[in-house]
Amino acid sequence: MSFFDEVDEPPRTEPRTTSRAGPRGRRPSGTGGRRPPDQQIRLRQAIAVGALVVIILLIALGVHSCQVSATNSALQDYANNVSSLNRQSAANGKALFTTLAQAAGSGSATNVQNQINQTLSDEKQVLNKAKQMSIPDQVKTANSWFQKALQMRVDGIANIAREIQPTLSGRASASSINNLARETARLYGSDVLYKDYAVPQIYGALHAAGTRFSPINGDQFVTNVNWVVPSFLGTELHVSVPSSGPKKVAPGLHGHSLTSVSVGGTTLNTGSTNTVPANPIPTFTLNFANGSPTNNETNVKCKVSINGSSVSGTAVVPETFAGKNATCQVKLNAAPPQGTQSVVATIEPVPGEKNTQNNTNTYTVTFQ
């Protein structure tokens, strides 16, 4: 046998490994192949987490947007309610001071008090509505000022109602006039609380929230600050303000002279019969002069009366000036009796006045 003769190969004892490669043989290197199972799971988890984060952010933004919208809406509603309530309150103030200005011609102090009590009832309703409002946290301090202002108005009206009868019934004293002035000052103080404290804080909360809003009502309860002055109150109520004690009369001449009386622009004549409408209740204008070259006078009382009846009227001029003319408006406390009547107009004497013959004039008037 030759060395190069073929020899049979002994049979294989190990099984042949079958390739898992596809038709193209081995898996090529690079990124085109499939990822291992654990990488795929991690990728899917990352995508799911990212999607969840996005959803949470969208929900959070939506909730925040709703909260902001609800806050703005609540602030707008509150500001509108405050504006409306102050408008109602200011209307009550107008009614109160109209009643006081017309008190002398009402004919009855009881009627005046009843009217003021009705205004008090209306103002209490405003306060109760304010207490029932929903108050956003941003305006709680401002609302405290607002409610205090309304409470001051209720208290002031109640005290005026209690003081008005003795003031108008002929028993007026310096104390009663001053008490009324203190209450009108309380009402004016309520305007300060509202306009200088409550409203600016409400505006600040609205601006901070970026809320669009209409201007808040700024009407005042007391539209004329003179109502807090006792002498002005006396003039409007047609009562004199008594002095707090005896006053030393200044040297020199004192006194006034009545120069003319008119009704509705028509001057009355002393030597003939004058015709005046009985309704509406007439108001007499008394023109007079301070005859002193040096002395001013205070709390000068004017009076008109109809002889033989209880119909009369008074007014008070807080101050007249030396050598100057003055005027007062006197409205009767009731309609005068129809027919021809004797009407007496008087500027009452002041301390130190010696000549009173020119203080009074009498007129014959036919009321129709």
Map residue 115 onto helix, strand or coil. helix
Question: Same domain, yes or no, for 210 and 171?
Answer: yes
What pLDDT shows up at residue 95?
96
Torsion of CA 244, 310, 345, 362, to 10 degrees: -150
Question: Same domain, yes or no, for 119 and 205?
Answer: yes
Question: Same domain, yes or no, for 207 and 266?
Answer: no
**Domain range for 265:** 256-367
The helix or strand, by DSSP H or E, that contains position 189, with its residue range, turns out to be: helix 174-193
Question: Same domain, yes or no, for 222 and 76?
Answer: yes
Beta pairing, strands 360-367 & 273-276: parallel
Domain boundary, last residue among 237, 267, 285: 237
- Which residues of the chain register pLDDT less than 50? 1-10, 13, 17-23, 25, 31, 64-65
23 domain-assigned:
no
- How many structural domains compose the chain? 2
What pLDDT shows up at residue 353?
94
Model pTM score:
0.56
Query: How many beta carbons lie within 10 A of that of residue 81, not counting itself?
Result: 17
Question: Same domain, yes or no, for 232 and 261?
Answer: no
CA distance 136 to 156: 29
Question: Same domain, yes or no, for 232 and 267?
Answer: no
165 domain-assigned:
yes
Question: Same domain, yes or no, for 225 and 260?
Answer: no
CA distance 196 to 16: 101
Query: Can the peptide bond before residue 280 be classed as cis, meaning omega within 30 degrees of 0?
Result: yes
Question: Same domain, yes or no, for 221 and 284?
Answer: no
Question: Same domain, yes or no, for 228 and 261?
Answer: no
Question: Same domain, yes or no, for 316 and 356?
Answer: yes
What pLDDT shows up at residue 66?
54
213 domain-assigned:
yes
Residues 6 or more apart whose CB falls under 8 angstroms from that of 190 comprise 148, 149, 150, 152, 153, 156, 221
Residue found under tokens 């952010």:
57
Nearest CA among 114, 222, 228, 225 for reference residue 168:
114
Question: Same domain, yes or no, for 126 and 216?
Answer: yes
Question: Same domain, yes or no, for 217 and 298?
Answer: no
